[in-house]
Amino acid sequence: MKVLNFGSLNLDYVYRVEHFVQPGETLSAMSQAVNPGGKGLNQSIALAKAGAVVSHAGCLGLGGEALGELLQKSGVDTGFLHFTDSIQGNAVIQVNAEGQNCILLFGGSNHCVTDTQVTETLAHFAEGDYLVLQNEINHLPLIVDEAYRRGMKIVLNPSPYNEKLRAVDFGKLHWLLVNEVEAAQLSGSKEPEAAWRKLHEQYPRLNLLVTLGSEGSVAFTVKGTVRQAAFPVKAVDTTAAGDTFTGYFIAGLMEGRSLQDCMRRASMASAISVTRTGAATSIPEREEVEKALEGRT
Ligand code: RIB
Protein backbone atom coordinates (compact mmCIF):
# COMPACT_ATOMS: atom_id res chain seq x y z
CA MET A 1 0.00 0.00 0.00
CA LYS A 2 1.39 3.42 -1.02
CA VAL A 3 0.44 6.99 -0.21
CA LEU A 4 0.53 9.88 -2.65
CA ASN A 5 0.27 13.43 -1.40
CA PHE A 6 -0.75 15.75 -4.25
CA GLY A 7 -0.14 19.03 -2.51
CA SER A 8 1.36 22.44 -1.98
CA LEU A 9 4.91 23.53 -1.23
CA ASN A 10 5.44 27.00 0.23
CA LEU A 11 8.16 29.30 1.38
CA ASP A 12 6.87 30.58 4.73
CA TYR A 13 7.86 34.19 5.55
CA VAL A 14 7.36 34.15 9.30
CA TYR A 15 7.12 37.28 11.46
CA ARG A 16 6.98 37.14 15.29
CA VAL A 17 4.70 39.90 16.54
CA GLU A 18 3.29 41.07 19.89
CA HIS A 19 -0.17 40.98 18.36
CA PHE A 20 -1.61 40.43 14.88
CA VAL A 21 -1.41 43.59 12.80
CA GLN A 22 -4.73 45.51 12.73
CA PRO A 23 -6.36 47.29 9.74
CA GLY A 24 -4.50 50.56 9.17
CA GLU A 25 -1.77 49.70 11.68
CA THR A 26 1.97 49.53 10.90
CA LEU A 27 3.70 47.14 13.26
CA SER A 28 7.36 46.22 13.77
CA ALA A 29 8.03 42.47 13.92
CA MET A 30 10.35 41.11 16.62
CA SER A 31 11.98 38.61 14.24
CA GLN A 32 11.75 37.29 10.72
CA ALA A 33 12.58 33.89 9.19
CA VAL A 34 12.03 32.07 5.90
CA ASN A 35 10.98 28.46 6.56
CA PRO A 36 9.89 25.48 4.45
CA GLY A 37 6.13 24.98 4.58
CA GLY A 38 2.90 24.47 2.71
CA LYS A 39 0.23 22.14 4.04
CA GLY A 40 1.16 19.58 1.40
CA LEU A 41 4.89 19.55 2.15
CA ASN A 42 4.30 19.56 5.91
CA GLN A 43 1.93 16.60 5.68
CA SER A 44 4.33 14.63 3.45
CA ILE A 45 7.15 15.15 5.93
CA ALA A 46 4.88 14.15 8.82
CA LEU A 47 3.87 10.99 6.91
CA ALA A 48 7.53 10.13 6.25
CA LYS A 49 8.58 10.81 9.86
CA ALA A 50 5.69 8.65 11.04
CA GLY A 51 7.09 5.78 8.93
CA ALA A 52 4.91 5.83 5.77
CA VAL A 53 6.31 5.34 2.26
CA VAL A 54 5.14 8.59 0.69
CA SER A 55 5.39 10.27 -2.72
CA HIS A 56 4.76 13.98 -3.10
CA ALA A 57 3.32 15.37 -6.35
CA GLY A 58 3.00 19.09 -7.01
CA CYS A 59 4.82 22.02 -8.60
CA LEU A 60 8.04 23.71 -7.63
CA GLY A 61 8.62 27.26 -8.84
CA LEU A 62 11.33 29.87 -8.93
CA GLY A 63 13.16 30.09 -5.62
CA GLY A 64 11.71 26.84 -4.29
CA GLU A 65 14.55 24.40 -5.04
CA ALA A 66 15.32 23.89 -1.35
CA LEU A 67 11.76 22.61 -0.75
CA GLY A 68 12.29 19.66 -3.09
CA GLU A 69 15.66 18.96 -1.46
CA LEU A 70 14.10 18.99 2.01
CA LEU A 71 11.42 16.50 0.94
CA GLN A 72 14.11 14.20 -0.44
CA LYS A 73 16.23 14.54 2.70
CA SER A 74 13.17 13.66 4.76
CA GLY A 75 12.70 10.40 2.84
CA VAL A 76 9.83 11.54 0.60
CA ASP A 77 9.81 10.36 -3.05
CA THR A 78 9.91 13.50 -5.22
CA GLY A 79 9.72 11.77 -8.62
CA PHE A 80 6.29 13.31 -9.31
CA LEU A 81 7.32 16.92 -8.66
CA HIS A 82 7.15 19.19 -11.70
CA PHE A 83 9.08 22.42 -12.25
CA THR A 84 7.42 25.64 -13.45
CA ASP A 85 8.73 29.13 -14.13
CA SER A 86 6.11 30.68 -11.84
CA ILE A 87 7.17 32.16 -8.50
CA GLN A 88 7.22 29.58 -5.70
CA GLY A 89 4.00 29.38 -3.67
CA ASN A 90 4.43 31.26 -0.42
CA ALA A 91 2.85 32.35 2.82
CA VAL A 92 3.20 35.38 5.06
CA ILE A 93 2.72 34.16 8.62
CA GLN A 94 2.37 36.24 11.77
CA VAL A 95 2.99 34.37 15.03
CA ASN A 96 1.81 36.19 18.16
CA ALA A 97 2.98 36.05 21.76
CA GLU A 98 0.62 33.10 22.49
CA GLY A 99 2.06 31.06 19.61
CA GLN A 100 -1.12 31.47 17.51
CA ASN A 101 -0.74 32.32 13.84
CA CYS A 102 -2.52 33.98 10.96
CA ILE A 103 -1.57 33.11 7.42
CA LEU A 104 -1.77 34.92 4.09
CA LEU A 105 -1.25 32.59 1.11
CA PHE A 106 -0.08 33.19 -2.42
CA GLY A 107 -0.63 30.16 -4.69
CA GLY A 108 2.14 30.81 -7.29
CA SER A 109 3.61 27.51 -8.51
CA ASN A 110 1.02 25.54 -6.50
CA HIS A 111 -1.59 26.66 -9.04
CA CYS A 112 0.38 25.38 -12.05
CA VAL A 113 -0.72 21.71 -11.87
CA THR A 114 -1.76 20.53 -15.36
CA ASP A 115 -4.41 17.94 -16.23
CA THR A 116 -1.71 15.82 -17.92
CA GLN A 117 0.33 15.88 -14.71
CA VAL A 118 -2.74 14.66 -12.81
CA THR A 119 -3.49 11.71 -15.11
CA GLU A 120 0.16 10.72 -15.58
CA THR A 121 0.85 10.80 -11.83
CA LEU A 122 -2.25 8.90 -10.76
CA ALA A 123 -1.54 6.19 -13.36
CA HIS A 124 1.20 5.00 -10.97
CA PHE A 125 -1.31 4.31 -8.17
CA ALA A 126 -3.98 1.67 -7.75
CA GLU A 127 -6.89 0.39 -5.67
CA GLY A 128 -6.26 0.62 -1.93
CA ASP A 129 -3.48 3.22 -2.18
CA TYR A 130 -4.04 6.40 -0.18
CA LEU A 131 -4.26 9.89 -1.67
CA VAL A 132 -3.84 12.92 0.59
CA LEU A 133 -5.10 16.35 -0.51
CA GLN A 134 -5.43 19.87 0.87
CA ASN A 135 -6.97 22.92 -0.80
CA GLU A 136 -3.81 24.80 -1.80
CA ILE A 137 -3.39 23.48 -5.38
CA ASN A 138 -5.51 23.72 -8.54
CA HIS A 139 -7.32 20.79 -10.26
CA LEU A 140 -8.63 19.30 -7.00
CA PRO A 141 -11.94 18.08 -8.58
CA LEU A 142 -10.07 16.30 -11.39
CA ILE A 143 -7.60 14.70 -8.97
CA VAL A 144 -10.49 13.41 -6.80
CA ASP A 145 -12.39 12.02 -9.81
CA GLU A 146 -9.33 10.27 -11.28
CA ALA A 147 -8.23 8.82 -7.93
CA TYR A 148 -11.76 7.58 -7.18
CA ARG A 149 -11.91 5.89 -10.59
CA ARG A 150 -8.74 4.04 -9.63
CA GLY A 151 -10.16 2.93 -6.27
CA MET A 152 -7.77 5.01 -4.16
CA LYS A 153 -8.68 5.97 -0.57
CA ILE A 154 -8.95 9.74 -0.68
CA VAL A 155 -8.27 11.84 2.42
CA LEU A 156 -9.08 15.55 2.12
CA ASN A 157 -8.01 18.30 4.50
CA PRO A 158 -10.16 21.10 2.95
CA SER A 159 -7.92 23.89 4.13
CA PRO A 160 -8.06 26.77 3.40
CA TYR A 161 -11.85 26.59 3.14
CA ASN A 162 -13.18 28.48 0.10
CA GLU A 163 -15.81 28.41 -2.65
CA LYS A 164 -13.62 26.26 -4.94
CA LEU A 165 -14.38 23.26 -2.74
CA ARG A 166 -17.94 23.22 -4.08
CA ALA A 167 -16.63 21.65 -7.29
CA VAL A 168 -15.18 18.66 -5.37
CA ASP A 169 -17.38 15.56 -5.08
CA PHE A 170 -17.24 14.85 -1.33
CA GLY A 171 -19.13 11.60 -1.98
CA LYS A 172 -15.87 10.18 -3.35
CA LEU A 173 -13.86 10.84 -0.18
CA HIS A 174 -12.84 8.25 2.39
CA TRP A 175 -11.85 10.66 5.17
CA LEU A 176 -12.46 14.35 5.70
CA LEU A 177 -10.05 15.92 8.23
CA VAL A 178 -11.17 19.33 9.47
CA ASN A 179 -10.94 21.72 12.38
CA GLU A 180 -14.07 22.98 14.17
CA VAL A 181 -14.36 26.07 12.00
CA GLU A 182 -14.10 24.09 8.76
CA ALA A 183 -16.61 21.51 10.06
CA ALA A 184 -19.11 24.34 10.61
CA GLN A 185 -18.35 25.95 7.24
CA LEU A 186 -18.92 22.65 5.42
CA SER A 187 -22.02 21.50 7.27
CA GLY A 188 -23.61 24.68 8.63
CA SER A 189 -23.47 23.19 12.15
CA LYS A 190 -21.14 24.44 14.88
CA GLU A 191 -21.41 21.25 16.92
CA PRO A 192 -19.17 18.41 15.54
CA GLU A 193 -21.80 15.71 16.19
CA ALA A 194 -24.44 17.64 14.26
CA ALA A 195 -21.91 18.36 11.50
CA TRP A 196 -21.25 14.61 11.25
CA ARG A 197 -24.98 13.78 11.03
CA LYS A 198 -25.45 16.27 8.20
CA LEU A 199 -22.36 15.20 6.27
CA HIS A 200 -23.10 11.50 6.78
CA GLU A 201 -26.64 11.93 5.46
CA GLN A 202 -25.27 13.61 2.35
CA TYR A 203 -22.19 11.42 1.86
CA PRO A 204 -22.72 7.97 3.45
CA ARG A 205 -19.20 6.67 2.60
CA LEU A 206 -17.45 9.54 4.35
CA ASN A 207 -15.59 9.28 7.66
CA LEU A 208 -15.07 12.53 9.56
CA LEU A 209 -12.31 13.63 11.92
CA VAL A 210 -12.58 16.99 13.68
CA THR A 211 -9.60 18.50 15.54
CA LEU A 212 -10.70 20.65 18.47
CA GLY A 213 -7.48 22.42 19.56
CA SER A 214 -6.93 22.08 23.30
CA GLU A 215 -10.11 19.94 23.46
CA GLY A 216 -8.46 17.14 21.47
CA SER A 217 -10.13 15.47 18.52
CA VAL A 218 -13.16 13.38 17.64
CA ALA A 219 -13.67 10.86 14.81
CA PHE A 220 -17.03 9.76 13.44
CA THR A 221 -17.49 6.61 11.36
CA VAL A 222 -20.44 4.26 10.80
CA LYS A 223 -18.89 2.04 13.50
CA GLY A 224 -19.14 4.78 16.13
CA THR A 225 -17.49 7.83 17.66
CA VAL A 226 -13.93 7.94 19.05
CA ARG A 227 -12.64 10.81 21.20
CA GLN A 228 -9.04 11.67 22.03
CA ALA A 229 -7.93 14.25 24.58
CA ALA A 230 -5.15 16.68 23.70
CA PHE A 231 -1.76 16.41 25.46
CA PRO A 232 -1.33 19.76 27.22
CA VAL A 233 1.89 21.65 26.35
CA LYS A 234 3.08 25.25 26.33
CA ALA A 235 2.60 26.45 22.74
CA VAL A 236 5.42 28.37 21.11
CA ASP A 237 4.16 28.18 17.53
CA THR A 238 1.04 26.29 16.39
CA THR A 239 1.91 26.48 12.66
CA ALA A 240 1.62 22.99 11.07
CA ALA A 241 0.13 21.38 14.19
CA GLY A 242 -2.83 20.23 12.06
CA ASP A 243 -0.51 19.01 9.29
CA THR A 244 1.51 17.00 11.79
CA PHE A 245 -1.72 15.46 13.11
CA THR A 246 -2.84 14.61 9.56
CA GLY A 247 0.43 12.90 8.59
CA TYR A 248 0.63 10.80 11.76
CA PHE A 249 -3.08 9.94 11.63
CA ILE A 250 -2.93 8.64 8.04
CA ALA A 251 0.33 6.76 8.68
CA GLY A 252 -1.45 5.04 11.58
CA LEU A 253 -4.42 4.08 9.37
CA MET A 254 -2.01 2.62 6.79
CA GLU A 255 -0.38 0.49 9.50
CA GLY A 256 -3.82 -0.91 10.38
CA ARG A 257 -3.86 0.61 13.87
CA SER A 258 -7.12 1.18 15.76
CA LEU A 259 -8.73 4.57 15.29
CA GLN A 260 -8.02 5.41 18.95
CA ASP A 261 -4.34 4.57 18.54
CA CYS A 262 -4.06 6.60 15.31
CA MET A 263 -5.59 9.62 17.07
CA ARG A 264 -3.42 9.19 20.17
CA ARG A 265 -0.20 9.10 18.15
CA ALA A 266 -1.33 12.00 15.95
CA SER A 267 -2.30 14.00 19.02
CA MET A 268 1.10 13.52 20.68
CA ALA A 269 3.00 14.34 17.45
CA SER A 270 0.96 17.50 17.08
CA ALA A 271 1.49 18.47 20.75
CA ILE A 272 5.27 18.14 20.34
CA SER A 273 5.20 20.21 17.13
CA VAL A 274 3.62 23.23 18.83
CA THR A 275 6.49 23.41 21.33
CA ARG A 276 8.83 24.27 18.40
CA THR A 277 9.02 27.10 15.93
CA GLY A 278 8.39 26.73 12.19
CA ALA A 279 6.19 24.44 10.12
CA ALA A 280 8.01 21.46 8.55
CA THR A 281 10.91 21.92 10.95
CA SER A 282 8.66 21.43 13.99
CA ILE A 283 7.48 17.89 13.08
CA PRO A 284 8.85 15.23 15.47
CA GLU A 285 10.35 11.85 14.56
CA ARG A 286 8.31 8.68 15.20
CA GLU A 287 10.70 7.48 17.96
CA GLU A 288 10.23 10.73 19.85
CA VAL A 289 6.45 10.46 19.64
CA GLU A 290 6.50 6.84 20.82
CA LYS A 291 8.84 7.67 23.70
CA ALA A 292 6.61 10.54 24.81
CA LEU A 293 3.60 8.21 24.75
CA GLU A 294 5.25 5.58 26.96
CA GLY A 295 3.36 5.13 30.20
CA ARG A 296 0.61 7.60 29.20
CA THR A 297 -3.02 6.73 28.68
O1 RIB B 1 -0.57 24.57 7.92
C2 RIB B 1 0.53 25.45 7.94
C3 RIB B 1 0.90 25.85 6.55
O4 RIB B 1 -0.17 26.58 5.98
C5 RIB B 1 2.09 26.76 6.44
O6 RIB B 1 3.31 26.07 6.34
C7 RIB B 1 1.75 27.65 5.24
O8 RIB B 1 2.63 27.49 4.17
C9 RIB B 1 0.32 27.30 4.88
O10 RIB B 1 0.23 26.47 3.80
Domains of the chain: total = 1
pLDDT over 70 percentage in the chain: 100
What pLDDT shows up at residue 1? 87
Tell me the best of 42, 90, 137, 243 to mutate to test the pocket of ligand 1, counting ligand atoms within 8 Å of each CB and taking the most.
42
- Confidence band, pLDDT 50/70/90 cuts, at residue 203: very high
Output the CA torsion 255→256→260→266 (10° steps): 20
Q: CB-based burial of residue 153 (10 Å sphere; 0-12 exposed, 13-18 middle, 19+ buried)?
A: buried
Q: Which atom of ligand 1 is nearest to the CA of 93?
A: 7
In a domain, 31, yes or no: no
Write the pLDDT tens digit of every residue in 61-78.
999 999 999 999 999 999
* In-domain check, residue 96: no
**Domain CATH code at residue 115:** 3.40.1190.20
Asked if the structure places residue 164 within a domain, the reply is yes
Q: Cα dist. 216→12, 24, 199, 263 in Å?
A: 26, 36, 21, 9
**pLDDT of amino acid 219:** 98
What amino acid occupies position 181? V
Is 165 inside a domain boundary? yes
Determine the structural domain holding residue 62 and report its residue range. 3-9+38-88+109-293
| Residue partners of 227: CB distance under 8 A and separation at least 6 | 216, 217, 218, 219
- The pLDDT of 208-220, averaged and rounded, is 96
Condensed to tens digits (0 to 9), the pLDDT of residues 148-178 reads: 999 999 999 999 999 999 999 999 999 999 9
Find the 41 Cα to ligand 1 centroid distance in Å: 9
- Is 255 inside a domain boundary? yes
Asked whether the predicted pLDDT for residue 297 surpasses 90, the reply is no
Contact 61, 109 (CB under 8 A): yes
96-124 pLDDT, tens digit each: 999 999 999 999 999 999 999 999 999 99
The reply to whether 98 falls in a domain is no
Residue 241 in any domain: the answer is yes
pLDDT tens digits along 15-65 = 999 999 999 999 999 999 999 999 999 999 999 999 999 999 999 999 999
Calpha distance 157→43 (Å, rounded): 10
Residues with CB under 6 A from ligand 1: 8, 10, 12, 37-39, 42, 91, 103, 136, 239-240, 242-243, 279
Can you give the pLDDT at residue 251?
98
Return the closest-CA partner of residue 75 out of 286, 293, 288, 289: 286
State how far the Cα of 211 lies from the Cα of 179, in Å rounded to an integer.
5
- Per residue in 256-274, pLDDT tens? 999 999 999 999 999 999 9
**93: in domain:** no
Instruction: Tell me the C-alpha distance between 292 and 295, whole Å.
Output: 8
pLDDT at 296: 82
Q: Could you give the CA distance from residue 63 to residue 76 in angstroms, rounded to a whole number?
A: 20
Tell me how crowded residue 154 is: count the other CB atoms within 10 A of its CB: 20
How remote is the CA of residue 46 from the centroid of ligand 1, in Å? 13
Task: State the Cα–Cα distance between residues 171 and 33, nearest whole angstrom.
Answer: 40
Residue nearest to atom 9 of ligand 1 (CA): 38
Average pLDDT, the chain: 97
The residue whose CB lies within 8 Å of the most ligand 1 atoms, and thus the one to mutate among 5, 8, 39, is 39
User: In this predicted structure, what is the pLDDT of residue 125?
Assistant: 98
Active site residue 243: yes
Report the half-sphere exposure of 70 (CA within 13 A, side-chain side).
23
Ligand 1: centre distance to CA 91 (Å): 7
Question: How far, CA to CA in Å, does 73 sit from each of 5, 9, 69, 78, 164?
Answer: 17, 15, 6, 10, 33
Report the residue among 5, 8, 10, 90 best suited for mutation to probe ligand 1: largest number of ligand atoms under 8 A from its CB: 10
List the catalytic residue out of 145, 237, 243, 261: 243
